[in-house]
Structure 1
């Protein structure tokens, strides 16, 4: 009997940043892989820090399809919201192609909605609200497409774990070991309900002691600072314009228009996918 093939696609969250083991990262997907059942699991992690939906579609998907996995996780989208080129129509189209490709192979698809980075970082409202609006848009698309393709979907954008500092690493954006274990535990529960995971669930308790405060500060001063600089060079000018727009609408009492505009963009993106799918059907003519 061949091993269960599990392939993970995504960004730094799935790569395992925040859960160091040895000289590398482990993360929720690797923790989950060890609990799927009695059969051996052939686990491949294709996730790369900084990846966007374009990277998943163009680079990770072909490698993932070649492995013909039984299970594939696709958890992505936060990095798209942190770019000046953010376009919910493009994000939706890319995710639709990725989900459809795995579904066509009969692969069980794992997806998740994620918290917005602005609130996790504790940014001021005028800066946080535009990022939150973008993340809500991505989450809405992921929800809709997960339902369309019958994915096992984890609602990770809400819950007490978001405000529990013990779940998060020093950068406040990536889970620590306890947070990664929580994600693995929740995915395992969903898979078990579907009869797709028969092994014992992963332990919620960390295997290793959390990094010391000095270690966390050192990470922030080195790798963490570099991460912020890279994002700021790309996003900050636009984010300042978005914040100024946010404050103007707030002063006029018209902030709801921004939410409505974002909701219309999501609806149009999903409607566009539905039209494209209908045109591709043999009986569409």
Structure 2
């Protein structure tokens, strides 16, 4: 399906979506995959010749944080496409702070926000799976928590007919050639190349008429 100029593309999630955006500026898209997608469509922010692009990522957020601000940050914005990227902090907090996010509760929260969206908006839903590119031995243990959480994301997305961007498959495959640190120096936050790969995957999944990756990158 093609993304048209009158579309409103809203992205919500944690720091990977946030990517350093200016919270005081509604048009700020950060420096990550959301900005790369906007550039593909010729949109520089909330206004422009392409579709409207809105970034509602917030550094450090877990799924429960998204749920608490969903009405204001998603429903009230009246988007036509809603993209959710969440889950890695729900895992990470277990290992760095001892804060556990039970997978069943995580899944229920994600289900509630997608259900709420379907009830309030005629919007396409897109879900980007959480991913990890271990760069330290201790991060390998995170998969015990992350793998079932990723399965929960996939179940919920499919139950709601959402399109799925499999970042959990894409980035590890790319890391086999370039190395994990080249795509996510700390194992979690993408490098510029990592964000480009996420943007390309979103465009391939969501917009059948998007320019080829080399054309998008050539815009500079």
Partner deviation per Cα, 1:165-192 (whole Å, 9 max, x = no partner): 3742433321111111111111111113
Contact 1:121 1:172 in 2 (8 A): yes
Q: How many angstroms apart in 2 are the aligned matches of 1:82 and 1:172?
A: 11
Q: Is the aligned partner of 1:128 residue 2:128?
A: no
Greater helix share, 1 or 2? 1
Contact 1:37 1:199 in 2 (8 A): no
Q: How many angstroms apart in 2 are the aligned matches of 1:67 and 1:202?
A: 29
Q: How many angstroms apart in 2 are the aligned matches of 1:207 and 1:177?
A: 15
Distance change >3 Å, CA 180–CA 68, structure 1 → 2: same
Q: How many angstroms apart in 1 are the aligned matches of 2:68 and 2:159?
A: 22
Q: Is the aligned partner of 1:162 residue 2:175?
A: yes
Contact 2:204 2:210 in 1 (8 A): no
Q: Is the aligned partner of 1:111 residue 2:137?
A: no
Contact 2:13 2:56 in 1 (8 A): yes
Q: Is the aligned partner of 1:14 residue 2:17?
A: yes
Q: How many angstroms apart in 1 are the aligned matches of 2:9 and 2:29?
A: 20
Contact 2:37 2:199 in 1 (8 A): yes
Match of 1:250 in 2: none
Match of 2:32 in 1: 27
Residue from 137, 152, 157 that aligns with 1:141:
152
CA RMSD of aligned residues (A): 2.8
TM-score by length of structure 1 reads 0.60
Q: How many angstroms apart in 1 are the aligned matches of 2:75 and 2:189?
A: 27
Match of 2:72 in 1: 62
Q: How many angstroms apart in 2 are the aligned matches of 1:45 and 1:92?
A: 23
* Structure 1: tracts of 5 or more residues without a match: 18-22, 209-285
Partner deviation per Cα, 1:243-279 (whole Å, 9 max, x = no partner): xxxxxxxxxxxxxxxxxxxxxxxxxxxxxxxxxxxxx
Displacement of 1:36 in angstroms is: 4.8
TM-score by length of structure 2 reads 0.77
SS of structure 2 residue aligned to 1:190: helix
- Determine which structure has more spread, i.e. the larger CA radius of gyration: 1
SS of structure 2 residue aligned to 1:46: strand
* Structure 2: tracts of 5 or more residues without a match: 21-27, 44-48, 94-98
